[in-house]
Structure 1
Amino acid sequence: MNDRIAQALTKLFDRHRIVFWYDAKQELRDDFETLSLPGVEKLELTNNQYGVKYKILREQPEQKFLLYREGPQPNDLDNWLLDVQLAQGEFRTDQVAIWLSELELGLEFTNVVQAHVEFFQAIKRKDALKKLLQADDTAGQIRLKMLAVCTGSEPRMDAVMENLLQELADGRDEKIKLVDRCSLDSFLWEQMTRLYGYNSGEPGIRDFTIELFKSCYAMGTAGQVKLTGDALVFLKRWKDSRQFEDGFETLSGECAEVLGIEQDLAKRDFRELIELDYFRLIDQKIISDLVRAVTSRTVSSGDVSLWVRQRRQGHWYREYQHLYEAVDYAAQFAHALGEAKLTMDSLAEGVQRYSRFWYQLDQLYRKFIYHVRISGQASLMGSLTDQVENLYSNNYLMKLGDRFQTFVDATPRWEAFPVRAQKGFFEHWVRPFLRKDNKVCVIISDAMRYEIGDELLSLIRQEDRYSAELEPALSVLPSYTQLGMAALLPNKALAIADNETGTVLVDGQSSQGTANRTKILQSALNGRG
């Protein structure tokens, strides 16, 4: 006991020069008499208050004093040292007083400690609280920090609730039971009323969760709202938290069922839901309606792109990303095809128009097909996929193919000036580097579409270290792999061998295999290839 008294008094003397000790039960005289604190003079109050006051204030104004009285504190009117006591410290030996002393809290917080005795019974909780306390804390701030200790969170109400909600989602209740045992539940619900407007005859975490989802959904759908705008701020913070998003998703699903969200969504236009992302069902509703709207051509491509862009900020976007992107590309494709004029007056004009505009139709189609396949929702996208495939095949490929074929059949020479011919690739694009003794790397990708080259161009340009250009070339005919590869080599004459191998001869030499192509390069570069 003496050690605990000494420790508590030492902490008091760290903050006060004079400490009063009233031994109300007259049980601790022996402890007082045997007590020894470095730098502290002990005095006993025995009807000598005036003399003591003169000594501690006038004679020894720098000395530390422990003033002990055997018995209770006198009435204020009879206490000649009351002014000194109010300005200095008081040591009390009951359990509450010891806890206050250990936490370096003033007597004004006695009621706080008395109201939550269970909390202070655990040394671990008490030590955790002490690390959070600040000199200017109010009673409310201390209780908030006690809540933080009980829930393992930061001392903020939103953080406390995030932890309690996660516990609910996990099917556990240890933290909220500890809050109840420590008599902090009333404070918790008072704060929930003050901050979020939550009132309930039987408040609870699950009840609050249901009301939170209900009110926030109502705020976006002109429904009846019971909670404040700060509740919406809290919900958005919670759902965007990487630490607690799993708990949010679990409780969102449970509340959607309790609140009948699916039935309510069925009655709504998807446009009024674009800003909402509290339930997974909202995304499912929007996507389903968008598929129907794009298929029926009742929405514009611009609106679809805007809506998809807005949904990218939503909580569930990652889960439904490929469906959103597929719908967006389908709308863009249909719009671009409707705007495209698939006409040409010459082969050269057709090549130029394709390299400037028409390739985008192939690009949009490819991206649509890609996202549909990745989504794994072929049945949901069935009607839209059928429409895009029909438009692509009949209104684009067939029409454009027929027009190109007309000029291919009629042209006397295979050229499309000013578009360069593929067989001049080496002299036009490679030789200039070699003349300057620069190294050049040629990467050949068989049958890579022009529109993919355009996307690669965009990706390269996004890198600050590189510049890039894209230029079309007119393929050789017939357009098969061996002839195409040979046309990229330095050449004066290309020929196809008169046998069944289809081997291409470059200036009379076979271009079949890496070794032969290396010889052709070395011959053209005087052995430097």
Structure 2
Amino acid sequence: MDIEYSEIENRLKAAFGHSTRLVFWEDESSEYADSIEGLKIEGADIVDATGHELATKRTILREQPGKRFVVYRHGGAPNPADDLLLDVKIAARPFSCSMEGVWADECGIPVTLAGMLADHAAFFNSKERRAALAATSLPKSGTQSFLFAMAAATMKAADAEERDAARSMAKKAVLEWARGDEQSMRMLVDAGLSGTFWAAMREHIGYRVGEGDAPNAGDLAFRLLEGMCGPIVQDDMRADDAEASRILGDLARDGRTRDEFDRVVQEYSKAVAALVPQDMRTAETLSEVDAIPEIDEWILSGFAAEVSASSTSSAAMERVRDARKHSLYHYRYGAYYSLLIAITGFRSECARYKKECGSGTGTAQILEKYCSAWHLVDRRYREAHLAFDRVPAGRFKSSMTKAMDELRGAYDLFLVDLTDRWQMHLMDDGAWPPSELPSQSRFFREHVELALPRAERGKRVGVIVSDALRYEAGSDLASRLSASKLKGIAGRAAVKCAYALSAIPSYTQLGMAALLPDGAMEIDPATTYVRKAGAPTWGTANRGKIISARIPGAVALQAKDVMGTKLDLSDAPVAVVYHNVIDKTGDTRDTEGDVFEAVERACAEIEKLVQALIQSGCGKVVITSDHGFIYQSQNPETYAYVDVPGLSQLKSADDVSCDHTRRFVVGKSIPKSESLVEYAAVDLSLEGDYNVAFPKGVTRLRLSGSGSRFVHGGASLQENVVPVITVEAAKGAKASRPTGVEGFVIGRPVVTGPSVSVTVYQSDPCSESVSPQTVKVGVYSKDGALVSATEKTIELASESDDVETRKTRVTMPLIDEVDDCASVVVRISARIGNTNAYESAWEQEYSVNRAFGMDF
């Protein structure tokens, strides 16, 4: 006997429960026949009915009808037709004392199925598996449901529905295969449940094998990856598309299991890719497929060919890029898309410039055109180089080399032409800067003093001066601030970007001085240091003295002292923060090639500085710069330098005050040259007896030891136009808002096939006042359960005014649960602020009638 008396007594006592009067114990092996008399059950008698069926029946039914009995019989039950206790047995609660019976009782399995348990004894050797089987909500009253429940418990699937449990089992099988330890799969074999598992995969997941082939976890992973790709894979053996997308999609988007998903892709993606016909490897066909990296490679290859042939638009590529921004491999291929879009956008902006450049007939007209449109040539040039540098070496990058060389050549021509036009009209209106145009000389008065700053929360004014933040980068920064997710900025600030003309020559000392309160400026030709109203302006301390003299309590700070600290401005009406990332990188010969990365870093840091100032009580933050810059990625050719005889000797003379950089000369006796444009200090609104000269166009002066690709100080729009970005906490000002979103039904609102398609429409182009929006698209039952394979995430970030450009078609494969619904809801949900929560922005009810639309 394997079970102790006390255990039997406890189990018999538990069998009675609250209302049970009779417990029937059929001991077919007679294992307990000699021990029955020793058992004592409180509140119940044990009667041995073996050979005394009628007497037992009379006792329990007539003589003691209210008493509880355990009816025991050994030796095997007679045929039902001959069993005198059959009616009692049916009415009583069955009891078994074999190990199988113990397991059945422990796991909530009907005793009628206890005979099956011996065939699966390996399963019951684990207390954990028995507990899981006992706790499951899966049915286990029938043979097949019981076997399925055991298989689910083995695979640690705790779902209440069979289809959900099958999905969890498939995930477990793939995970263990990817990790190289199929422990659960081996247990299925040992427990005699392997057939049950594979039957479930066939029924619920659509996994099949060919005749004579044995199923295995690796093959399951392969077929699921095929199914995740959908109909583009020409293989009838692929798993169900929707189920595969849900199972592998869950693994891919969970950080805890992404490595295992990548292992599946690494092993099988090439084999799956080989099953996609050549004519289906197009962006139009593949834009919504998100399974293997080859998808992006095919899309990019097609776009690259079109870019090389100049036969595509950036809008078409932006639609695909935005649709794939949240795809599985965007982290790998995002720079590739950005490169193609930037090159195409650059060509488009260059074409616009060539078409419009003749309309610039004066300083104001050229400036307005540059700030409204032409600066985008600079921006696309910067974006193209950023992306090109981020694309790893390989065949794709090599294929883009020619396009990049053409881009650099076109940009050089653009710079030369635009700068010649600018210099031609530079002094049309008299002394620099023109009085009717915004300039640095009026910055402090117009943007700080007239804001009436006070040392109280919401009334303070913050100023960020970022060295060499040129206009195109500032315009880009304004868009980023409008879309910022940082606390204090997101949804709570209005952002505007204007422009101002810098002082000339456009270098740090003069630009920083021009941004200070009113006063006449004078350059020291020997050092190029600047005094304003006689006071020194170099260094944060000197600038702080000038500012606080005009506005008592105002403070001047370095960005490094603000970043990462809790800023206390309790007594300050104005805080001016000096930030130097771009100029510091570009002015160093060894790092000037990293200047575009420095622009990215600067924008990110400025965003955090804005947050810090707003959180410190600034109701208004203004971002500007001392000057801009020119950057040409190739080292300028010989023609880009000008030689001024006597200039180098003049600089080194002891009795002459003269200094020069690559882009300007300041001194009393500047050598005359056809290559220079020279002005007296008074012409540039400067005090002192000296002249300032600039090389014509974008040429450089020779200067040993300095870089030549990044330059400033001269007379060009890139050097002379700086941004003035205003960020106001939204009270009187209107905060930027996310773009709206709508949906359009494609066809009739009826589900008749394996998928549903809908057009997602971005209602407003993104701008300084309209920020991008992240949306999720899915199909749901009336009770909110997801019945599409996944929720598709899309970034709505188009800046295009073209309505069609802002439309994205989304197709969602449906899982079988949709057939249980009379109708479903297609919903577009928009992200709520900077949270991870979403709310419904558009929805449409669809009736379900797949009987006429499904393929049989």
TM-score (norm 1): 0.88
Q: 1:138 to 1:361 in 2, by over 3 A?
A: farther
Distance (Å, rounded) in 2 between the aligned partners of 1:520 and 1:260: 67
Is residue 262–residue 281 contact of structure 1 (8 Å, CA) maintained in 2? Answer: no
Pairwise mapping of residues 396-407 of structure 1 onto structure 2 (< 5 A)?
396-407=414-425
Is residue 351–residue 416 contact of structure 1 (8 Å, CA) maintained in 2? Answer: no
Question: For each residue in 1:330-349, what CA deviation from the matched residue of structure 2 results, as whole angstroms up to 9, or x when unmatched?
Answer: 22332233334234121112
Structure 2 residue aligned with 1:348: 364
Structure 2 residue aligned with 1:4: 7
Structure 2 residue aligned with 1:181: 190
2:230 equivalent to 1:203? no
Counting matched residue pairs gives 527
Distance (Å, rounded) in 2 between the aligned partners of 1:6 and 1:293: 83
2:294 equivalent to 1:278? no
User: C-alpha displacement at 1:136, in angstroms?
Assistant: 6.3
2:492 equivalent to 1:474? no
Letter in structure 2 aligned against 1:164? A
2:370 equivalent to 1:358? no
SS at match of 1:38: coil
Is residue 352–residue 419 contact of structure 1 (8 Å, CA) maintained in 2? Answer: no
Q: 1:365 to 1:13 in 2, by over 3 A?
A: farther
Distance (Å, rounded) in 2 between the aligned partners of 1:287 and 1:159: 35
User: C-alpha displacement at 1:493, in angstroms?
Assistant: 1.7
* Structure of higher RCO (CA pairs closer than 8 Å, 6+ residues apart): 2
Q: 1:301 aligns with which of 302, 308, 314?
A: 314
Distance (Å, rounded) in 2 between the aligned partners of 1:254 and 1:518: 62
Question: For each residue in 1:432-452, what CA deviation from the matched residue of structure 2 results, as whole angstroms up to 9, or x when unmatched?
Answer: 234766432322111101122
Q: 1:490 aligns with which of 509, 513, 517?
A: 517
Structure 2 residue aligned with 1:65: 69
Which moves more between the two structures, 225-234 or 357-366? 225-234
SS at match of 2:497: coil
User: C-alpha displacement at 1:369, in angstroms?
Assistant: 1.9
Give the share of equivalent positions with the same residue, in percent. 26
Distance (Å, rounded) in 2 between the aligned partners of 1:98 and 1:528: 82
Letter in structure 2 aligned against 1:199? V
2:471 equivalent to 1:450? yes
Structure 1 residue aligned with 2:431: 413
User: C-alpha displacement at 1:475, in angstroms?
Assistant: 1.2
Which moves more between the two structures, 431-440 or 401-410? 431-440
Distance (Å, rounded) in 2 between the aligned partners of 1:325 and 1:379: 16
Q: 1:229 to 1:258 in 2, by over 3 A?
A: closer
Unaligned runs of 5+ in 2: 160-164, 484-489, 556-856
Structure 2 residue aligned with 1:520: 546
Name the one with the larger strand percent. Answer: 2
Q: 1:137 to 1:245 in 2, by over 3 A?
A: farther
Letter in structure 1 aligned against 2:265? S
SS at match of 2:69: strand
User: C-alpha displacement at 1:216, in angstroms?
Assistant: 5.1
Q: 1:108 to 1:330 in 2, by over 3 A?
A: farther
Q: 1:490 to 1:231 in 2, by over 3 A?
A: closer
User: C-alpha displacement at 1:58, in angstroms?
Assistant: 6.4
Structure 1 residue aligned with 2:135: 131
User: C-alpha displacement at 1:137, in angstroms?
Assistant: 5.2
Structure 1 residue aligned with 2:28: 24
Q: 1:134 to 1:199 in 2, by over 3 A?
A: closer
Is residue 359–residue 450 contact of structure 1 (8 Å, CA) maintained in 2? Answer: yes
Unaligned runs of 5+ in 1: none
Pairwise mapping of residues 158-169 of structure 1 onto structure 2 (< 5 A)?
158-169=167-178
Is residue 362–residue 428 contact of structure 2 (8 Å, CA) maintained in 1? Answer: no
Q: 1:459 aligns with which of 460, 463, 480?
A: 480
Q: 1:334 to 1:99 in 2, by over 3 A?
A: same
Letter in structure 1 aligned against 2:199? E
2:327 equivalent to 1:314? yes
Distance (Å, rounded) in 1 between the aligned partners of 2:509 and 2:464: 15
> How large is the RMSD of aligned CA atoms in angstroms?
3.1
Q: 2:446 aligns with which of 404, 428, 435?
A: 428
Letter in structure 1 aligned against 2:461? V
SS at match of 1:468: strand
Question: For each residue in 1:90-121, what CA deviation from the matched residue of structure 2 results, as whole angstroms up to 9, or x when unmatched?
Answer: 22233322321222321232354243222123
User: C-alpha displacement at 1:430, in angstroms?
Assistant: 1.3
Is residue 256–residue 279 contact of structure 1 (8 Å, CA) maintained in 2? Answer: yes
Distance (Å, rounded) in 1 between the aligned partners of 2:78 and 2:528: 117
Larger radius of gyration: 1
Distance (Å, rounded) in 2 between the aligned partners of 1:477 and 1:228: 68
User: C-alpha displacement at 1:414, in angstroms?
Assistant: 2.3
Which moves more between the two structures, 191-200 or 229-238? 229-238
Distance (Å, rounded) in 2 between the aligned partners of 1:116 and 1:435: 81
Letter in structure 2 aligned against 1:371? A
Is residue 140–residue 149 contact of structure 2 (8 Å, CA) maintained in 1? Answer: no
Distance (Å, rounded) in 1 between the aligned partners of 2:138 and 2:58: 35
Is residue 288–residue 380 contact of structure 1 (8 Å, CA) maintained in 2? Answer: no
User: C-alpha displacement at 1:282, in angstroms?
Assistant: 2.5
User: C-alpha displacement at 1:135, in angstroms?
Assistant: 6.9
Letter in structure 2 aligned against 1:391? A
SS at match of 2:97: coil
User: C-alpha displacement at 1:421, in angstroms?
Assistant: 2.0
User: C-alpha displacement at 1:66, in angstroms?
Assistant: 0.7
SS at match of 2:26: strand
Letter in structure 1 aligned against 2:504? L
Q: 1:447 to 1:262 in 2, by over 3 A?
A: farther
